[in-house]
């Protein structure tokens, strides 16, 4: 991260930076980490502003209310209304279509994007007895579970991480599938029974990454003819990690290119190593009966972050073409706005 604390001496930064976040335990934990980082680079105290989203109060299935937008919309409204100065999202919850007047100014260093099985110690997905009840609220995970273990009973659940784990502890469920990054952020990795390998189990585009969004005027350096951000925009931009940006750009470009709606069971996992970007994308039928998988790689100049972004967009476009040619549109609801 770049130190821009000198900006605090000018008039461009407020006396307190108000950071909007959802109010769940996980959201507050990850927002707290971002608040500490933003305070370090800006020299300004950062205050959390909890915002209630539709996804926090509506307990209907994500397949009904949608998985994106329902968590981000209220945060974005609060930012536009001036109730906060910046907002932090789980990137996988953020629609791929930008919100008018807002800009994602930073994607910080990414946590491990893998899914994990949370179950009694020693249990793996393959060792669960037939008929075991496994909970998840994700259409993607439902499809993957059904494809891997059609003999399981998959229970569509909602709720925060603690409540989902409590249903395993009580015996109501035999296991749940969760994001490893979320468990790491709240210190609950002792609940993990199995890490699900990305090669066989790609995850949601942007999983494990956070996005910090600001009003467009604070990120004006991204638009011509303005070469410089405001002091607030510079502080936020200092938190960004080029590798995380490149990986998530590729993943979200596949989602956007497919026109996949919030309920489409689509998985995309990207990784960057030594000048090579690799992407694995899959589209599933809702109950996992069939799937279309495509993988690809592209080279880029490690010294040029823009080179990675260009490679990400180009490779994503190629994979979208191949997925559609392989019949993805016949399996899942792609072609809708995301």
> Is 322 annotated as catalytic?
no
Q: Is 76 among the residues known to form the active site?
A: no
Is 287 an annotated catalytic residue?
Answer: no
Structural tokens at position 295 = 């993988």
DSSP string, 182-207: HHHHTT-GGGEEEEPPTTTS---TTT
Q: How far is CA 104 from CA 91, 136, 189, 208, 218, in A?
A: 10, 28, 29, 16, 11
Q: What are phi and psi of 128, to 5 degrees?
A: -60, 135
Residue 225 tokens read as 């003819």
Distance CA 333, CA 319 (A): 17
Q: Which of 164, 167, 215, 252 is catalytic?
A: 164
**Active-site entry in 92, 110, 114, 215:** 92
Handedness of CA 216, 219, 225, 226 (dihedral sign): positive
In this structure, are residues 246 and 308 in contact, taking their beta carbons and an 8 Å threshold?
Answer: yes
Tokens of 162: 């603690």
Cβ neighbours, 10 Å, residue 109: 15
Helix (H, G, I), strand (E, B) or coil at 11: coil
Tokens of 14: 């407020």
Best CA proximity match to 1, nearest among 306, 240, 244, 246: 240
Catalytic-residue membership of 22:
no
Residue 311 three-state SS = helix
Indicate which residue of 22, 76, 140, 252 is catalytic.
140
CA atoms of 172 and 135, how far apart (whole Å): 10
Catalytic residue among 93, 174, 218, 309, which?
A: 93
The one catalytic residue among 110, 114, 133, 141: 141
Catalytic position from the list 158, 188, 287, 310? 158
Q: Annotated catalytic, 118?
A: no
CB-based contacts of 330, cutoff 8 Å, min separation 6: none
Q: Residue 308 contacts by C-beta under 8 Å, 6 or more apart in sequence? A: 242, 243, 245, 246, 249, 272, 277, 300, 301, 302
Residues belonging to the active site: 92-93, 140-141, 158, 164, 262
């Amino acid at each position: 991260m770049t130190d821009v604390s000198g900006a605090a001496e000018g008039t461009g930064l407020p006396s307190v930076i108000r950071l909007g976040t959802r109010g769940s335990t996980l959201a507050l934990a990850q927002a707290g980490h971002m608040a500490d980082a933003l305070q370090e680079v800006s020299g300004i105290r950062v205050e959390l502003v909890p915002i209630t989203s539709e996804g926090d109060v509506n307990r209907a299935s994500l397949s009904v209310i949608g998985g994106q937008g329902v968590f981000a919309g209220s945060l974005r409204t609060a930012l536009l209304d001036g109730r906060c100065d910046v907002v932090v999202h789980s990137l996988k919850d953020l629609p791929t279509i930008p919100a008018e007047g807002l800009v994602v100014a930073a994607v910080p260093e990414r946590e491990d994007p893998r899914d994990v099985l949370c179950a009694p110690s020693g249990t793996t997905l393959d060792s669960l007895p037939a008929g075991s009840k496994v909970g998840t609220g994700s259409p993607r995970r439902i499809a993957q579970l059904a494809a891997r273990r059609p003999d399981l009973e998959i229970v569509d659940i909602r709720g925060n991480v603690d409540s989902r784990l409590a249903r395993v502890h009580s015996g109501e469920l035999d296991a749940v599938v969760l994001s490893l990054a979320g468990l790491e952020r709240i210190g609950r990795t002792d609940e993990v029974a199995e890490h699900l390998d990305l090669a066989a189990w790609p995850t949601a585009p942007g999983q494990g990454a956070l996005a910090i969004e600001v009003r467009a005027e604070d990120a004006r350096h991204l638009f011509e003819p303005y070469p410089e951000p405001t002091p607030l925009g510079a502080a936020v931009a200092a938190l960004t990690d080029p590798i995380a940006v490149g990986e998530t750009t590729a993943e979200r470009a596949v989602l956007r290119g497919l026109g996949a709606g919030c309920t489409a069971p689509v998985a995309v996992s990207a990784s960057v190593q030594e000048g090579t970007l690799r992407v694995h994308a899959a589209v599933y039928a809702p109950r996992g009966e069939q799937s279309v998988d495509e993988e690809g790689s592209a080279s880029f100049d490690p010294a040029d972050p823009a080179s990675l972004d260009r490679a990400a967009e180009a490779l994503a476009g190629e994979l979208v073409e191949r997925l559609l040619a392989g019949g993805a549109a016949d399996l899942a609801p792609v072609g809708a706005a995301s």
